[in-house]
Structure 1
Amino acid sequence: MMRYQILNALLHFLFFFIGAGIGSFLNVVIYRLPRNISVNNPRRSFCPSCQYQIPWYHNIPLVSWVLLRGRCGNCGTGISPRYLGVELFTALMFYAVFWTFKGDWATIPFWGPQVLCLWVLMSLLIAGTFIDIEHYLLPAEITFYGTIAGVLASVWVPGLQAQEVWWMGGLMSLASAAVGFGGLRLVVELGKLAFGRKKVAFEKPEDWSVTQPVETEPPIVTMGEDKIEWADLFGMQRPTDRLVVVCPKLQVNDQNFQEVTVELYVETMKVLGKDGKVETYDLENVTRLVGTASSVQIPREAMGLGDVHFMMMIGAFLGWQAVLFTIFAASVLGTLISGLTRLTGRAQWGKYLPFGPYLAAGAVLWVFYGPQVVAWYLMQVTGRGADY
């Protein structure tokens, strides 16, 4: 009996540490993928500051960051606590999946395909979440390849889609991916119609400009002390999206204007005078764009296409019921967090809030509690539960 308890404890520790090890790899993905750096070359992790390739004894999950006090062992530069956080969070998620879905130890294996598939999903959700928080994007390497992984997982484990036959699991995964993509895309378009513009009037004219500090990267719009990236304004590439700025003063290249309205589109710009005269510019030919603004109208999106693809991936893994639950849960969480940022005065004009983390949180809630919550709700409303 004692030997069994010791082996049991060791297995629990093993699965927790496996999660920490995967979290260490996810840190590599989170840092390199948005910077177009191969996750395989260089093979070893390196310090972002001095490029020193970290030896294995300085790269032990959870342990090394603490022992080195969050600093590079070579140059002493601080290493973000995010590295420790990702390792710890991944370890906790892996252990939670194992503990929740291990089944009856006496009758079925505690280690099974369902646990492996959900570990893959958790890894994708964690990587996507932290990339979206830092870079406001969800790479296709995560969303599209994750969708393929979800379909294959559902073929291997049809129970992910509440099916018993492999081919039905695959078909339901494809259908659920379509529901995830189409459902969230519909939310994007409806959100654009309802909340697609935001107008801000300033008490006194604010300095504003459009600059491109790095030639190979998109421009940045500066309005007073706030900055917003071009992709946050025109990420969907709609030809009708426009940033409208009412300008007491404006300079375009070597031309000066007064009391005009500027309409900025994805690739062009119009300057409208009070006399009805309109001048059109190709933004590629505009090298200087500065002025003052008395008001601004900002194009807004409910979310980006990366979120739509992220939802497609979630549907491929978890089914159409999870899609509906995740969208609802993410919307509630997003509304609460957004409301808190506004109440605390942390919200900036036109500032884009990444929705991917809320979708990931909604999916995690579904994995652990979703079917039970839905069954409880249906019981309260109809007096009958639901079969999942």
Structure 2
Amino acid sequence: MMRYQILNALLHFLFFFIGAGIGSFLNVVIYRVPRNMSVNNPRRSFCPSCQYHIPWYHNIPIFSWLILRGKCASCRSPISPRYIGVEAFTGIMFYAVLWHFGGEWDQIVQWGPKVLCLWIFMSLLIAGTFIDIEHFLLPAEITRNGTIAGILASVWVPSLQGEDIWWRAGVMSLASAAIGFGGLRLVVELGKLAFGRKKLNFEKPEAWSVTQPDENEPPIVTIGDDKIEWVDLFGMQRPTDRLLITSPSLRINDQNYTDVTVELYVETMKVLDAAGKVEEFNLENVTTLKGQATSVMIPREAMGLGDVHFMMMIGAFVGWKAVLFTIFAASVLGTLVAGFTRLTGRAQWGAKLPFGPYLAAGAALWVFYGIQVMSWYLTKVTGSEEF
């Protein structure tokens, strides 16, 4: 009996360490994917500061970071605590999935596939969360490929969708992905109608410009001391979204204008003078764009298109009920965090946190305790436990 208990404990530790190893790979994904780098080339991890290729004995999950005291073995530059954090957190989540959904080892054929699929799901949530925190984006490599993985996983393990038959689970996964995409897209559009514009008026004219330091990167709009990325203005690719600038002086390429209104769209620009004359430009042909601004009307989004795709992936993996629960839970978590940061005087920190991490937290909560939470909530509100 003692031997079995020791073996069981070792196996549980092994699965935690497997999760930590996957977390080490997720760190590669988190660093490289938003920078348009291949996760396979170079194959070995490297120090971002000195490009030192890290040998295996300096790349052991959790332990290497602790032994090296969070510094590169070559140049001694600090290594972000995010690396050990992702490794430890992934290990914990892998173990939590095993603990919650696993069973007797002689029945691993029955519960193993579901655990494996949920490990993949948790890995996608973790990678998406940390990329979104650092870069305010959710790459299509995570969300769209994750949606495909979710559909395939549901066909393989129908219980992910609450079904017993593979083809019904596949249909439910597709429908849930559509509900996830459409439901959150509706929230985005309603938020756009309610909070879609922000107007700024300046006592004195402020300098503004649109620049593109790198042709492979989107343009940056500078207004006074503030810099706004193009994707934050036109990320939803709506033809009606516009940045409206009242400009007493303006320069476009080699032409100068005075007392005009500038309408910037995702691909074009209009210049209106006081007499009502309109000139239209294709932004691809504009190399210089700068001037002074007395007022600015900025388009705003309730959230980005990446969040919509993230929700599509969540629906594909765990179903339409999870979609509804995740949106609800993410909204509650966001409100609680905003309230906490205001009470503690850190409201600026809370305002800088994107919505993706809240969606991931809501989805993870659903996986472990979603049915119980919703049953408790519905019992309190309606007296019925059915969800």
Per the normalisation by structure 2, the TM-score is 0.91
Alignment match, 2:259: 259
Which range is displaced more, 142-151 or 22-31? 142-151
CA distance in 1, matches of 2:141, 2:202: 42
Do the aligned residues in 1 keep the contact of 2:248 with 2:258 (CA within 8 Å)?
yes
Q: What is the CA deviation profile of residues 199-221 of structure 1, one whole-angstrom value per residue up to 9, with x for unaligned ones?
A: 12234432221111112221101
Q: Are 2:125 and 1:122 equivalent residues in the alignment?
A: no
Structure-2 residue corresponding to 1:293? 293
> Are 2:80 and 1:68 aligned?
no
Secondary structure of 1:208 counterpart:
strand
2:141 alignment partner in structure 1: 141
**Letter paired with 1:263:** E
Counterpart position of 2:99: 99
Unaligned runs of 5+ in 2: none
1:28 to partner: Cα distance:
1.0
Distance in 1, matches of 2:187 and 2:4, equals 52
Following superposition, the deviation at residue 193 of structure 1 comes to 2.2
1:132 Cα deviation from its structure 2 partner: 1.8
Retained in 2: the 8 A contact 1:177–1:312?
yes
Corresponding position of 1:226: 226
3-state SS of paired residue (2:256): strand
Q: Could you tell me how far 1:194 is from its partner in structure 2?
A: 2.2
1:183-332 correspondence to structure 2 within 5 Å: 183-332=183-332
Structure 1: 5+ residue stretches without partners? none
Q: Say if 1:147 and 1:317, in contact at 8 Å, map to a contact too.
A: yes
8 Å contact from structure 2 (residues 338, 347) kept in 1: no
Partner of 1:346 in structure 2? 348
Post-superposition shift, 1:385? 1.4
Deviations 1:274-296 (A, max 9, x none): 33233333222322222222221
Task: Classify the secondary structure of the residue corresponding to 2:52.
Answer: coil
**Structure 1: how far apart are the matches of 2:158 and 2:46?**
40
Distance 1:341 1:292, change over 3 A: farther
In the superposition, relative to structure 1, how do residues 339 and 380 fare at CA in structure 2: closer, same or farther (>3 Å)? closer
Cα displacement (A) at 1:266: 1.3
Query: Is 1:152 aligned to 2:152, yes or no?
Result: yes
Q: Which amino acid aligns with 2:179?
A: V
Deviation at 1:337, TM superposition (A): 4.3
Q: Partner residue of 1:47? A: 47
Work out the percentage of aligned pairs sharing the same amino acid.
76
Question: Which residue of structure 1 lines up, in the alignment, with residue 176 of structure 2?
Answer: 176
Q: Shift of the alpha carbon at 1:108?
A: 4.7
How many residues align? The count is 384
Change (3 A) 1:340 1:37: same
The 1:111/1:347 distance shift into structure 2, 3 A limit, reads closer
Q: Contact 2:27–2:86 at 8 Å: present in 1 too?
A: yes
SS in 1 for 2:309: helix
Alignment correspondent of 2:31: 31
Shift of 1:128: 1.1
**1:16 alignment partner in structure 2:** 16
Secondary structure of the equivalent of 1:53? coil
Shift of 1:106: 8.8
Letter in 2 for 1:240: T
Shift of 1:382: 3.0
CA distance in 1, matches of 2:66, 2:206: 46
Q: Return the offset for 1:254.
A: 3.4
Distance (whole Å) between structure 2 residues aligned to residue 297 and residue 345 of structure 1: 24
Residue 57 of structure 1 aligns with an amino acid whose one-letter code is: Y
* CA drift at 1:191: 2.0
Q: Distance in 2 between matches of 1:208 and 1:58?
A: 47
- Cα distance in 1 between the residues matched to 2:349 and 2:77: 31
3-state SS of paired residue (1:370): helix
SS at match of 1:259: strand
What root-mean-square deviation, in Å, do the aligned CA atoms of Structure 1 and Structure 2 show? Answer: 2.4
Deviations 1:226-247 (A, max 9, x none): 2111111111221111101122
CA deviations on 1:223-275 (whole Å, 9 max, x unpaired) are: 22221111111112211111011223333333333332211111222222233
Given that residues 232 and 352 in structure 1 are in contact (C-alpha distance below 8 angstroms), is that contact kept between their aligned partners in structure 2?
A: no
